[in-house]
């Protein structure tokens, strides 16, 4: 777990970050959908772009695929 300074909207608390490696049989779109579902179940509400949020799950790498869902 590590802290990073917010980017863009500076008037907010620093972010707590964590990185994990997983192995899955899910395809990229299903994995992304699962991540978004977890965020919602844990109370994520996006009110302001780059603003504070309860949870933000990102997929950094998926084999050698480039997958851009715009956000």
| Token couple for 46 | 């996006």
pLDDT value at residue 71: 55
Task: Parse the chain into domains and list their residue ranges.
Answer: 24-71
Cα dist from 30 to 35, 58, 71, whole Å: 9, 13, 16
Residue 2 CA to residue 4 CA, distance in Å, equals 7
Residue 52 CA to residue 60 CA, distance in Å, equals 20
| pTM, rounded to two decimals | 0.77
pLDDT value at residue 2: 92
Q: What's the pLDDT tens digit per position in 14-32?
A: 989 999 999 999 999 999 9
| Token couple for 40 | 């919602």
Which candidate, 27, 2, 35, places its Cα nearest to that of 16? 2
Q: What's the pLDDT tens digit per position in 34-64?
A: 999 999 999 988 778 778 888 889 999 999 9
């Amino acid at each position: 777990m590590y802290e990073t300074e917010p980017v863009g909207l500076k008037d907010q608390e620093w972010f707590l970050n964590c990185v994990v490696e997983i192995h899955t049989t899910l395809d990229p779109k299903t994995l992304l959908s699962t991540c978004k579902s977890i965020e919602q179940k844990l109370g994520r509400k996006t009110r302001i772009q780059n603003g504070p949020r309860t949870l933000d799950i990102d997929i950094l790498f998926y084999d050698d695929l480039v997958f851009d869902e715009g956000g």
